[in-house]
Structure 1
Amino acid sequence: MEWHGDIPDNINLKLLPAKHWQNHLRTKIYIKKLKKELNNNKFDLVLGFNKMPDLDVYYAADPCYIEKTVGCSRFFYRMGGRYKYYSYCEKTVFSEESNTVSLMISNVQVALFKKHYQTPDERMLLLPPGISRDRIAPDNANQIRTDFRVKHRIADDEKVLLMIGTAFKTKGLDRALKAIALLPEKIQKKVKLFVVGEDNITPFQKMATKLNIQENVIFFGGRDDVPLFLLGTDLLLQPSYRENTGTAIIEAIVSGLPVLVSDICGYAFHVELARAGKVLPSPFNIQQFSETIAEMLTSPEREQWIKNAHQYAQSEDLYSMPERVVDFIEQIATRKVSADAG
C-alpha cells in the first residue's frame, strides 16, 4: 500500500494505493486491487508478508490470529467485520484447502495453526532463527566483559540482569520489576537490571519507585552495542506474556549469557536444548520467578550453562535463515513453473 525508504535499482515497484479509515477495510481494498494485478500478469511466484488470498508463499512473522481472539472476553470483537475479514485472510493461507506454503519462524505457532486449521506439515516449513554471527562471543569476550563492567561501574560482587527489546509490557518488564522487589534483601541490594530498547519507560519508572527498587533499574534506550551488554551482564530475563519467537534468547545463548524465560516464548525450547538456563512453566508464578532469579545468580551451575551455550552456538544452525528462505522460494517456484507448464 505504501513504501518507505529508498527503492532498490534491481526491483520493479508498483504501489497499489488503498485508503480507508478502518485498517481491515483498507486491507480489503488493497487485496482487491492486488488480485486484479495477479490476474493480469503471469508471475512465477507470489510471496506475501501479510495473510491474504492467492499467495504461493507466506512469510509467517505474525502469530495465529484466531488463537489471539479465542475467549469469552473477545466475544463481541469476534462478531465484528474486522475479525471476520482477518480470520478469512488467515484461513485462505492455512486451511487444508489452500495451496500456500508458509515459512514458519516459530514451532509454537506451527502447533497453533495446525490446531485451528489442520494445516499439513508439508505446507509449513520451519526456518532457523537467523541471527547475526556477530553475536557469537569473540575470543576476547572476557576482556570485553571486564571493560564493560568497569565502564558501567559494576562492582565485583554485583550481578546484572538484562532485558532487551521493545514492547516492555508484552516482554514482561513489570514481572521483572516485581520479581526483583521480592528478592531477599541480601541479594537485592547487589542486583541491577539493565533495560535495553525503545518504549515508554515512564510507567515502569513509576512502578520501580513504588516497589522501592528505583536504584536497581537502569534504562538505556535503543543501543547499537547490544553485543557488549550480552557479554557484560549475568542473566538474560524474558518473562514474556506473549512472544512469537524471542531473538534476544538466541543472541544470549550464542554470547554465552545464561537465560531465564517463560515457556510462552517461541524460542524457549532452545534454552532447554542448549541447557543454557531455565524455562519457567505456565501458569506463570511471580514468586517462582523471583526465587529462580536468586537461584541462578548464585548457582554453581553458571559456568556449565555458559559452556553449554558456547557448544550450542557452534553445533546448531542458528544463523542461516536468509539462505534457507532463498532455497525454499526457489524450490517452490520451480515446482509451480513445472506444474503450470505441464
Structure 2
Amino acid sequence: MKFAFCLYHYFPYGGLQRDCLRIARAALARGHQVTCYVTDWDGDTLPGLVVRQLPVKGAGNHARMASFARALTDALAHEPADVVLGFNRLPGLDVYFAADSCFAEHLAGKPALVRWLPRYRTFLSLEQQVVRDAFFLFLNDHQRQQYQQHYDLPAERFTVLPPGIEPDRRRPDNADRIRALTRAALGLRDDEQGVLFLGSGFRVKGLDRALAALASLPDDTLARTRLLIVGNDDPAPYLAALPAADRERIRGRVRAEGARDDVSALLQAADLLLHPAYRESAGMVLLEATVAGLPVLTTDTCGYARYVLEAGAGEVIASPFEQSALNAAFARMLATVPGSWSAAGVRYGREQDLYRLPDTVVDLLEERS
C-alpha cells in the first residue's frame, strides 16, 4: 500500500515528529510505501522513506500553514495515495493524528471578535475541514471530550490510541554505570541532585514555572540541586524574566544543554523530572521517565499525567495551577527521591503494554485502505 504522511515541519526532538517517524518505520517494516510531505526536514531520514519538501509562502504561521495546505492538495492530486495520514490540521486527510488540543476549545475562552482575526480564522477553518472528512486518532480521552463538546464526532469516527514510547527507555541492566558516566560528563557531583527539564517549546512546557520552583527552594536544598534544561529552544528569555533576586539566587544552579540525542542516559543520570507544562496532549517524556525509574513531577494538563499516577511514579499538580503548590511538591520530592517512585515506575514499565502506538496506527491505516 502507498501511504502519504503530512507533517508541517520535521525536527528530531519533537514528540509529534518522533511519533511520525516511528509510525513510518512500522509501516515500512510491513512493506508499505511511505511518502512524507513537509515544508522542511531537519535530521536523518529512514531507509525507504520518501521525503517531499513543499514550497510555502507567508509572513505568519497561519499564512504558511495555509500555503502548505494548498501545496499539499496539489501534490496529492498529482501523486495519489491509498491513505493520507496527517499530523497537522490539513485538508484532504483520511486519518488525523490528533496531537494538538481542540482549536475550537482554545478559542472558546477568547473574545468573540478574536475568531475573525486571520490567524484564528485560518486554524479554525483547517480544523473544521479535518472534522468534516477525517478519522481521528486521539492520544487521550480528554482530547476526545474536547472535540465532542464542539463538533458532532460519533464513535465510529475516532479511536483513542495506546501509548507508544520506545522500549529502550526502560531502565537497563547497566543503569548504574550509565548514571555514573553521564553525571560525570554533566559535572554533577555525587552529593548533588540533578533535576531534568526536557522538551522542546519551553513556553508551553512551563520553563518559567520550573525556574520559579527552583528559586523557591530552601538555601540548603538549592545548594545541592542543579536544573538541567534540555531541548531545542532558548532558555535565556525565561531566565531574564525572573525577578533579579531570584535570578541571582539560582546563578550556577542552572545548566542549559540544548538539544541532545542521549535521552535514555539523561533519564538515568537525573534524580527528578520536572515537567510543569501549561498544556500537552500527551507528554511522552512523562512515560519515558516513568519506565526509566526517574520520579516525575508534572501537571494534570498533560494527557499522560494519568500514567504517572497509575504507576505511582511521581506527583501531579492539579488544576487550576498554583505556583505555590508546585514549589511545595518540588521541595518535598527532592527531600525524598527516589522514594518508592523509582521502583514503581520501573515495575510499571515491565508489566504494562506501553509500546504499541506505531503498530496500532499502521493496523488502522491498513483497515481504512
**Alignment pair present for 1:307 and 2:343:** yes
Shift of 1:17: 5.6
Q: Give, as a single letter, the amino acid of the residue that structure 2 aligns with 1:63.
A: S
Q: Residues 213-255 of structure 1: CA distance to partner in whole angstroms, max 9, x if unpaired?
A: 1121111111122222110111100001122221211110111
Task: Name the counterpart of 2:203.
Answer: 169
Q: For the aligned residues, what is the CA RMSD? A: 2.9
Distance change >3 Å, CA 57–CA 222, structure 1 → 2: same
User: TM-score normalized by structure 1?
Assistant: 0.84
Shift of 1:136: 1.3
Q: Residues 277-306 of structure 1: CA distance to partner in whole angstroms, max 9, x if unpaired?
A: 010001111111111111112237x34211
Shift of 1:332: 1.5
Q: Where is the strand percentage greater, Structure 1 or Structure 2?
A: 2
Q: How does 1:101-120 map to 2 (within 5 A)?
A: 101-120=135-154
Q: Distance in 1 between matches of 2:238 and 2:179?
A: 27
Q: Distance in 1 between matches of 2:45 and 2:188?
A: 45
**Alignment pair present for 1:240 and 2:277:** yes
Q: Residues 195-226 of structure 1: CA distance to partner in whole angstroms, max 9, x if unpaired?
A: 11121222234338641211211111111222
SS of the aligned residue for 1:76 comes to helix
Q: Distance in 1 between matches of 2:199 and 2:89?
A: 25
Shift of 1:272: 1.0
More displaced 10-residue stretch of structure 1: 152-161 or 230-239: 152-161
Residue-pair matches, total? 328
Task: Name the counterpart of 2:93.
Answer: 55
**Alignment pair present for 1:325 and 2:361:** yes
**Alignment pair present for 1:216 and 2:250:** no
**Alignment pair present for 1:282 and 2:282:** no
**Alignment pair present for 1:46 and 2:84:** yes
- Unaligned stretches of 5+ in structure 2? 1-36
Tell me if the contact between 1:103 and 1:124 (Cα under 8 Å) persists in the aligned partners. Answer: yes
SS of the aligned residue for 1:69 comes to helix
Distance change >3 Å, CA 153–CA 36, structure 1 → 2: closer
Share of identical aligned residues, percent? 38
Q: Distance in 1 between matches of 2:49 and 2:216?
A: 55
Q: Distance in 2 between matches of 1:155 and 1:15?
A: 46
Q: Distance in 1 between matches of 2:352 and 2:129?
A: 34
More displaced 10-residue stretch of structure 1: 24-33 or 232-241: 24-33
Shift of 1:23: 5.5
More displaced 10-residue stretch of structure 1: 84-93 or 257-266: 84-93
SS of the aligned residue for 1:244 comes to coil
Task: Name the counterpart of 2:120.
Answer: 83
Q: Distance in 2 between matches of 1:7 and 1:247?
A: 21
* Equivalent of 2:219 in 185, 195, 203: 185
* Equivalent of 2:175 in 114, 126, 141: 141
Task: Name the counterpart of 1:69.
Answer: 107
SS of the aligned residue for 1:103 comes to strand
Shift of 1:35: 5.6
User: TM-score normalized by structure 2?
Assistant: 0.78
Distance change >3 Å, CA 66–CA 289, structure 1 → 2: same
